[in-house]
Structure 1
């Protein structure tokens, strides 16, 4: 028979165990009731699907008193992970992969939430303003063209807005036995490459052929007759321009792509320089030790004479929101090759200037408006003059590149083409 003290001890143990069981049940019930509605406990029949170590961790977490947690803001990547519904049975094996995946997603989310880094190019020359167009970054993808020819140099760069629509043309070989006959041209297209490609291929040939066909009487004209604007060579150049325009319009009627092109050309014949142009391409002469002299005047709707001519022909000129005057509210130049829809007002008859080549005529700068919109005539001449003083032919080519860079640094988003022509080689 067991002593009374022993029986009393066992009874106290049983009572303590019963109280412990009740407390455990209360703790489990309180933990279940305090959990959020999103964390719904699985049915009793599915609890065994979880591995034993995981069940023990859940039980200990339920028994532990609740700890205050700092507020957590769920990131988009974490919300997506919670909605994915990962199977409980594969949690242990997939934890390293999930941690790495979550780290990558979190990093990607952070990168998306952060604004992109701004790159602002800084102008190198004093007085130039830094443009916010990221021209320095665009140079890596642009195809720069640098050409060193016989007595001429060219640098060209496409703008960031569209594909390259500038072109150039040179005819310097002997034409009909005349070694003093040379043609140079810079062209600026609009509305696609069709027009500028055609004009750059055909205009030089047409001008040279027309001038040679004009005969030799223009070579030995009297000085008084040579000063007239409408001499035989100037008339031949005008006729070549109009013929080239007619050929281009005929292609447009046959279904070829429309569009147009501006031009500035120089023809050296004997001891005379003939400069012709349409639109806003420009030719600037350097003479007398680096003094700039413009040989062209831009054909734009801002010119009073051009505006009056268009209005007399039944057209109109309007100013766009950017402040640019345009023919029929469309085209900014008033003369150009092509542009068949506006041909009634946009003429292809060029302005032609004749300059006798005398001592002091140094070089000619011919460029598209991508340069002249940002660089003045005298600045362009100064840059080339500095390079010529270096007594190296390659330095003139570098001056062309320098002018292209200068226009881009100052904010030009247009195509830029610069040609420098040595005139001293033609001076007799």
Structure 2
């Protein structure tokens, strides 16, 4: 087997050698015939042609000389057409080149560099008008903790904007009645103008209206008792005071977009009258710490409120966050102000009367910054954790601050205002 393989390889090599010899003979014949037919003088005898006709076999010095004889006339022509060279000193030439580079760089930078900005220095009034002051005001707001005659308040501004919560208290002898008192918590939106006005005037309007209605008719045509007539008169006076305050607000701040939610409590002759607009809430603690809500939030999610708005020609839509809003704008359906939505966002409050009897302990009134994160029963538990009403009232001030802190820990970014009112002092 090995012998056959060697013989085969030898035959292949011999055939390849014969092929190469024949190829060289053919190339030589073609070169000779082309040289006889061409008018161009033949190359010198020393120049031979390579077998493949691509690489000249002329020695290197002869190739250089032949190339020079062909290209020199072209070089002379180019030199004749070109302008005479300028003689420049080496140092001057280098300096000119550097200047030219610097000029090109300066022009390039000038084209890329924007014009210089001149920033005016605004005063404080300009910053507030532009909205900068509002963002900084929330940081400057200090926590509020107030202890009064039978009531306690704690309040803290949210981090998003300036403080828009407020409260109001009227106690002592009012019209000769030492048992008449007014308490209120207010939650503004769209600025402080509306909440400042309502917190200043609503309490006075309510007290004045109630005192004016005190001498109303003692009986009604349907034979109702004088007590029931008085209760109805007080409730009607509170509603009238709410509507009158709203009208005064709209007249004073025409075109203002802000509004106010409110929850108020009026104590008169051993009865508690709770009125509210929006999502502020009042919760009663009774019989050893049981929570009872005395208000129902006025929101667009409530079926009755939605029907009322649609009957008036408005609409309620749900935002991307899942909140129902009047005309796609306001989340509450009742409030003070909000003049642009006044056709549907009314200021008529819901009024609830509760007789102050044994077992009524205290009342918690707060803005929605608390109720969004803390339930009714949790709020009552924080105030009454000591286990008895007297001790709960004594620690109510600390409890208000604890509720504010609890809402903040749970993620509330809204303003939070909490008021606790001792009701046992009014029980007869």
Q: TM-score range by the shorter chain?
A: 0.5 to 0.7
Q: 1:182 & 1:268 partners in 2: Cα distance?
A: 5
Q: Kindly report which structure 2 residues correspond to 1:36-51, keeping only aligned pairs within 5 A, or say none.
A: none
Cross-structure match for 1:237: 238
Match of residue 70 from structure 1:
none
User: d(CA) in 1 for partners of 2:230 and 2:326?
Assistant: 28
Aligned 1:60-79 pairs, distance under 5 A: none
In the TM superposition, what is the alpha-carbon distance from 1:386 to its structure 2 partner?
A: 1.7
- In structure 2, the partner of 1:406 is 406
The 5-angstrom pairing of residues 267-278 of structure 1 reads 267-278=266-277
User: Does the alignment pair 1:329 with 2:295?
Assistant: no
Does 1:395 find its partner at 2:395?
Answer: yes
Which string of whole-angstrom CA distances, capped at 9 and with x for unpartnered residues, describes residues 162-208 of structure 1?
00000000000211110000000000000000100000000000000
Q: 1:142 Cα shift?
A: 4.7
Secondary structure of the 2:253 match is helix
For residues 83-98 of structure 1, the aligned pairs below 5 Å read none
Residue 104 of structure 1: aligned partner: none
Offset of residue 216 of structure 1 = 3.9
Shift of 1:385: 0.4
CA separation of 1:375 and 1:220: change in aligned 2, threshold 3 A? farther
What is the TM-score normalised by the length of structure 2?
Answer: 0.64
Task: Please give the alpha-carbon distance, in whole angstroms, between the structure 2 residues aligned to 1:199 and 1:145.
Answer: 19
RMSD: 2.7
Distance in 2 separating the partners of 1:219 and 1:398:
44
Matches within 5 A, 1:365-404: 365-386=364-385, 389=388, 391=391, 395-404=395-404
Deviation of 1:258 (Å): 3.2
CA distance in 1, matches of 2:346, 2:196: 19
Tell me the number of residue pairs that the alignment of Structure 1 and Structure 2 aligns: 293
CA apart distance, 1:268: 0.1
Judging changes above 3 Å, is the alpha-carbon distance between structure 1 residues 155 and 336 closer, same or farther for their aligned structure 2 residues?
Answer: same
* Residue in structure 1 matched with residue 155 of structure 2 by the alignment: 156
Q: Is the 8 A contact 2:219 2:226 kept in 1?
A: no
Q: Secondary structure at the match of 1:391?
A: helix
Matched residue of 2:384: which SS? Answer: helix
Cα deviations across residues 279-308 of structure 1 (Å, max 9, x unaligned)?
A: 000000000110000000000000000011
Listed one character per residue, the Cα deviations across residues 194-235 of structure 1 (whole Å, up to 9, x for unaligned) are: 100000000000000000000245899998675689700000
- Tell me the residue number matched to 2:189: 190
Quote how far apart the aligned CAs of 1:372 are. Answer: 0.3
What is the rounded CA distance, in whole Å, between the counterparts of 1:372 and 1:388 in structure 2?
23
Deviation at 1:331, TM superposition (A): 0.3
Evaluate the alpha carbon distance shift between residue 218 and residue 197 of structure 1 in structure 2; reply closer, same or farther with a 3 A threshold: farther
- Counterpart in 2 of 1:214? 213
The residue that corresponds to 1:246 in the other structure is 247
Does structure 1 retain, via aligned residues, the 8 Å contact 2:138–2:162?
A: no
- Give the 3-state SS of the residue equivalent to 2:247 in structure 1: helix
Name which one, 1 or 2, has greater alpha-carbon Rg: 2
- CA distance in 2 between counterparts of 1:319 and 1:230 reads 39
Partner of 2:264 in structure 1? 265
Cα distance in 1 for partners of 2:218, 2:149 equals 24
8 A Cα contact 1:165 1:190, kept in partner:
yes
Cross-structure match for 1:363: 362
Q: Which has the higher contact order (CA 8 A, sep 6+)?
A: 1
Task: Tell me the alpha carbon deviations over residues 336-355 of structure 1, each in whole angstroms, 9 at most, x when there is no partner.
Answer: 00000000000000000000
Distance 1:229 1:329 in 2: 41
Partner Cα distance (2:380, 2:302) in 1 = 25
Distance 1:181 1:329, change over 3 A: same
C-alpha distance in structure 2 between counterparts of 1:44 and 1:229, whole Å: 112
The TM-score with structure 1 as length reference comes to: 0.64
Match of residue 203 from structure 1 = 202
> Equivalents in 1 of 2:394, 2:327: separation in Å?
45
Please tell me whether the aligned partners of residues 278 and 335 of structure 2 are also in contact (alpha carbons under 8 angstroms).
yes
Match of 1:281 in 2: 280
- Equivalents in 2 of 1:387, 1:164: separation in Å? 32
SS, match of residue 385 in structure 2: helix
